[in-house]
Amino acid sequence: MLRTDVFYQKVSVVTVVKRDIPQYFVYERRPVAFVGTPGGGLTCLALNTYGGEFRRELRYLGMIPYNFGADFEEVSFEEFVVAVERSRARNRLGEGTVKALYETMDALELTAYRESRRLTAEEEALIVSLSRRTHPLFEAYLSERGLTGTPQPVPPAMAMARVFDSTDASGAPVVQRPPVPDDQRDPLLHYLERAPIVLAARGFGADPLDPERRDEVPLTYHTDGVWIWPGAVHYHLRVHGVPPEPDLVGYARSRGFRVPEVDDEARARAIESINRPADRS
């Protein structure tokens, strides 16, 4: 008997834009993802409903954009994870704890189906909550066996703070930014100086605002996992009162000027962002 406990909206056309990949879909209740390849191309991974891993299924690259009369929906990554876990639950995959959780999820959907009704809001919320528990467990299970897990979203690009806004006709730096309030200057300096250094060169650079001054500008780059800034940013704030970019100041303020922990992955992304202009030249 065909179960129809989960309903998806029919979408007429999907435009695949590379900058938006990965893109996530549920196609006839099957989770499907368009992902980029190392060479800049596009491929497609679909959930193997019997094993729970993802496999390459190139046919969806043509089926989804041109919508051959199928029911499918483009979803967020969070919604995609729930769809993946619901599919794994319907097939009673996994072992031990994860299998028991999947059985609970499937029982909720099966009961609603047998009673010819949709899931209640409470049941939906419970399935979402259980999915958040089962997903990392089953993904670890796949990883241990060398199988492909759920395609992860590409982390957003980090923002690079400029030291100055521009230069005038003589080449002198120009800054047009609101000043940092006096009571926030020291906390901001602490934040900018204590954030992890991801790149550093030996020695110090010249001060373009005071060429007669000895070289004291730090040749470093810092990151908080969201922003990247040269050491010159906090140097010019401390020595000359030059305010950093307002959005950087606002972000630091929103964190209460508490320096965050930055993991190795975020540090690697920061280094990649710093080096990217050189790679393109």
55 belongs to a structural domain: yes
- For the chain, how many structural domains are there in total? 2
Q: Are residues 125 and 237 in the same domain?
A: no
Distances in whole angstroms, Cα of residue 158 to Cα of each of 10, 66, 116, 224:
35, 34, 48, 10
pLDDT of residue 277: 55
Orientation angle between helical segments 246-254 and 182-194, nearest 10 degrees: 90
Torsion region of 99: left, alpha or beta (phi above 0 gives left; psi -120 to 50 gives alpha): alpha
190 belongs to a structural domain: yes
Would you state the structure tokens that stand for residue 80, as one six-digit string? 């995609």
Q: Are residues 174 and 127 in the same domain?
A: no
| Strand 173-174 versus strand 30-36 pairing type | unpaired
Position 71 confidence tier, pLDDT thresholds 50, 70, 90: confident
227-270 pLDDT, tens digit per residue, is 999 999 999 999 999 999 999 999 899 888 998 889 898 899 89
Orientation angle between helical segments 182-194 and 231-240, nearest 10 degrees: 150
Amino acid letter for position 107: A
Q: Are residues 179 and 234 in the same domain?
A: yes
Q: Are residues 127 and 55 in the same domain?
A: yes
Residues 6+ apart with CB under 8 A from 59: 44
Q: Is the pLDDT at 144 greater than 80, yes or no?
A: yes
153 belongs to a structural domain: no
Q: What is the Cα–Cα distance from 92 to 102, expressed in whole angstroms?
A: 6
Q: What is the Cα–Cα distance from 263 to 196, expressed in whole angstroms?
A: 10
Q: Are residues 172 and 139 in the same domain?
A: no
The percentage of the chain sitting over the pLDDT mark of 90, rounded to a whole number, equals: 69
Q: Are residues 131 and 210 in the same domain?
A: no
12-61 pLDDT, tens digit per residue, is 334 444 446 799 999 999 999 999 887 778 999 999 999 999 999 999 98
Would you state the structure tokens that stand for residue 215, as one six-digit string? 């070289």
Q: Are residues 167 and 213 in the same domain?
A: yes
Q: Where in the sequence is the domain holding 268, given as residue range(s)? A: 159-280
